[in-house]
Amino acid sequence: MKKAGKILPIAYYLLLAIQVIFCALWVAKSSLKLPLIYEGSIYLEAARAMKFDEYSGVIYPLFLRFIYLGMSNISGRITVAGLQLVALLLSAVFLINRIKRMSAVTIELKSLDIVLILLHFITFPLVAYIIFLMTPEAFALSFFMVWCGYLFDDKKKPLDIFLMVTAYILAGFMSIKYAYIIGIIWLVYILVMNRSKIFLNLARWISGICFIIIMNILFITPGCYGRMPASMGTGLVCNYSYEVLVHDHFFWPEEAKAAIPFENLGNILMDRSHVVTKMGEPLLNNYSYWKTDILGLQIAKASIMVRSRETIDRFLGNVSDYLLTPVTFLENINGQGKSSSAINIYSMAGGDSRLAVMYMLLGLIIYSLIIILASFGKIFDKKTFSFWLMMYLVASVFWALFAFNYFDYMLMMPVIAFGLILLSTKWRLICKSICK
């Protein structure tokens, strides 16, 4: 075992060194050339106009207004990336320390061990990518990791509970998708994994949800940019109605058909993202925000009811895509299947698509390796791993239903990042236990 404990880390360190080199090359060549993707334009638009809807939130546009606007593009991007990197590092250190406390054996992680885990984390392709994106993904992920660190610690103090709820609120304020995914993961955790203080925990969950709703009512104007509500109904339309809008228009509610006549569907069918914009504008021009949300649900219901078999097949296919995210990602790189991942690959490529693809493939290989390595040894209790597996399953099912687009591996970013820190921390502990 001691010999294995010396040989296995060599392979890991060699691959990690290669990943660090690829990351350095990508940062030097492409990181500051990332095009402004559609999601990023939402936040810059809100920052300039000081108008906020549920897609933009309030915090990140204000952050861009005071940090980015007024600077040159290069200096602004470097400043934003630096602050996002610091947030990710601090939250990762916090989560590593929380995970270490959950270990089944007492083994100290030295500073070098933590540095190696952090190095692996920040040079992982998806993490390095979001550091340089002009979106709140990095900050939202940071708050998500803090929330995770508090959630599965049974020895929470009142201050810990307050900070856990606060982390959820901040993550939800940064990105609407984090408000949804954390909320559903937290609810499943309370109802399935930790029912000892179920009513008290539900009260905390409800308080977080209510605070996000109240603050959104106070500071945002839903629909002010003519976009469909960022609701689960819109997600169902994007996921299960988009490709059959022409065929199912007859089954729409009369109000929706009046606002969007059959001959106007061509504007929506040009691109899947037009469901949010081109469909939202005429509906919001004719009806209230809440009526538009209801009409979206009715449009989705029409497609689901008349195509129940196709809906079930699509749902099961979506779930498998998200559960097998690395495999699905590889299929999409090879041009198989439909995916929204292409925009992220194109954006990440910057100046060199081959470098970006090789870098991302290497990251997936190392991620798969530590999953295999971390499966050896009883270092963590079952609860910690059950939490990660539950998170993975819940996120896969949720996005299979309500994603606003085709499969997008970035939606699984919080689950992947948490797993990366959990497994690499466990891997370091296993190495140290074997070598003892």
Number of domains observed in the structure of the chain = 2
Position 226 in a domain: no
- DSSP reduced 3-state for 231: coil
* Domain C-terminal end among 250, 282, 306: 306
Q: Check residues 206 and 71 and name the one with the higher pLDDT.
A: 206
Question: Are 101 and 201 in a shared domain?
Answer: yes
Position 227 in a domain: no
Most confident option among 138-147, 211-220, 282-291, 327-336: 138-147
Position 177 in a domain: yes
Question: Are 302 and 322 in a shared domain?
Answer: no
Nearest Cα to 376, choosing from 430, 435, 436? 430
Question: Are 237 and 141 in a shared domain?
Answer: no
Question: Are 168 and 97 in a shared domain?
Answer: yes
Q: Is the pLDDT of residue 36 over 70?
A: no
Q: Check residues 129 and 1 and name the one with the higher pLDDT.
A: 129
Position 270 in a domain: yes
* Domain C-terminal end among 257, 281, 306: 306
In which band, very low, low, confident or very high, does the pLDDT at 38 lie, cut at 50, 70 and 90?
low
d(CA 200, CA 204): 6
Question: Are 90 and 6 in a shared domain?
Answer: yes
Say what percent of the chain tops pLDDT 70.
Answer: 86
d(CA 102, CA 383): 9
Most confident option among 3-12, 170-179, 237-246, 406-415: 170-179
Question: Are 187 and 273 in a shared domain?
Answer: no
What pLDDT, on the 0 to 100 scale, is given for residue 147? 94
What pLDDT, on the 0 to 100 scale, is given for residue 178? 93
Position 225 in a domain: no
Question: Are 348 and 300 in a shared domain?
Answer: no
pLDDT tens column, 235-246:
888 888 888 888
Question: Are 11 and 67 in a shared domain?
Answer: yes
Residue with the two structure tokens 């599965």: 152
Q: Is the pLDDT of residue 4 over 80?
A: no
DSSP assignment of 341-401, as one string?
A: HHHHHHHHHTT-HHHHHHHHHHHHHHHHHHHHHTTSS--B-HHHHHHHHHHHHHHHHHHHH
Q: Which domain holds residue 277?
A: 232-306
Question: Are 287 and 139 in a shared domain?
Answer: no
Average pLDDT value for residue range 299-314: 87
Question: Are 257 and 381 in a shared domain?
Answer: no
d(CA 173, CA 213): 10
Under 8 Å CB-to-CB from 83, ≥6 apart: which residues? 67
Contact predicate 256/269, CB 8 Å: no
Question: Are 190 and 240 in a shared domain?
Answer: no
The pTM assigned to this predicted structure is 0.90
In the Cβ-directed half-sphere of 107, how many Cα atoms lie within 13 Å? 22
